A = this chain, B = another copy of it.
Amino acid sequence: MTDKLKPLREQIDAIDAQILDLLNRRAQIAQQVGHVKAETQAPVFRPEREAQVLRGVAERNPGPMGDREVQTIFREIMSSCRSLEKRVTVAYLGPAGTFSEQAVYQQFGSAVEGLPCASIDEVFRSAEAGTADFGVVPIENSSEGAVNRTLDMMLQTSLIISGEVAIAVHHSLMTKSGNMDGVTSICAHSQALAQCQVWLNQNYPHIERRAVASNAEAARLAGEDGTVAAIASELAGAQYKLGVVKGHIQDDPHNRTRFAVVGTLQTAPSGKDQTSLVLAVPNKAGAVYQLLAPLAKHGVSMTRFESRPARMGSWEYYFYVDVEGHVHDAAVAQALAELQGNAAFFKVLGSYPVSL
């Protein structure tokens, strides 16, 4: 075997030497980029540029290496080069080891300084004060319900969204015993119950479902009471010594949590972007429909629409809207200008590349 492998390994070693050389030439140019940016105080991290590079290598990838693998390698290459310009610090909802930390690495690669914070508010404060260059916060979280606090903070903050990251989230059914004997109720956050609805209807149609404050709370209850089953992450289950009855029970196997990257950076168009807004109108019939008319008129697609009760002020609801495209696109700019004219409250949260 060694005879056949040896020449192949020599070829690999030769290729590695060339890659090493190219990596360092790339790093040298990155340093020059850093000097140019320092002169003009331009930002080190350009999400639109990195998104373009990652999309580009996947498009041009002839194989046999997989597109995903190629992107993972290039994310690390950009992360390393960027750290030579300046080490980027990113605040996130700690502690270390959570999905939030995973989101930081997925956006910035490993050559980044993570700053775990105790609360979503602290993530915003760190990025507003400049202690961190960016913050990463859950914006649409299927299990922890953290989205509300993030949305509230988005209304007040001077920060804008410069990117988004999606992370796969899995739910498991767990009990103290690891089986369903004697179980009379299944507990979880209402969103998690909803996300596992089809599976629960098929498998445990007659067991009562109970919505509790969080999936972690459900796990805690199940740890104390053998008649309770919890739907939660296996990480939460392990903390309360639960056994897994069945893993990955969410109806959508591609269930994801979205995180927003917030900072002071205006992201330039990358070619495949979306724009997030918050709007409010006085509460009268037809007002919402009327409000959104400019989007249809200018052919701008709405990819997300979510209403949320206002906690103060003179209107009853805020509407969180995502649209396709960048504020620098003519159609989006015109639609938003008209939309702003109709709205009682209007704030652009940011334009940024659609997550990979």
Q: Which residues of A contact B (CB under 8 A)?
A: 1, 4-5, 8-9, 11-13, 15-20, 22-33, 36-37, 39-40, 42, 49, 53, 56-57, 60-66, 69-70, 72-74, 76-77, 79-81, 83-84, 94-99, 102, 110-111, 116, 118, 216, 233-239, 243-244
Contacts and interface: CB of A to CB of B under 8 A. Distances in A.
Nearest to A80: B69
A40 B1 contact: yes
A142 B62 CA distance: 46
A46 to B, nearest CB: 10
A20 B237 CA distance: 42
Nearest to A216: B239
Given A1-B42, A24-B62, A69-B76, 6 more contacts: A4-B36, A12-B29, A13-B53, A15-B22, A69-B83, A118-B244
28 contacts: A1-B42, A5-B37, A9-B49, A12-B26, A12-B29, A12-B30, A12-B33, A15-B22, A15-B29, A16-B53, A16-B74, A17-B60, A19-B74, A20-B61, A20-B70, A24-B62, A66-B83, A70-B80, A72-B80, A72-B111, A73-B77, A73-B80, A94-B238, A96-B234, A97-B97, A97-B99, A116-B234, A239-B239
A270 B66 CA distance: 29
A22 to B, nearest CB: 5
Contacts of A53: 13, 16
Number of copies: 2
Q: Is the interface of A mostly helix, strand, loop or mixed?
A: helix
A60 B20 contact: yes
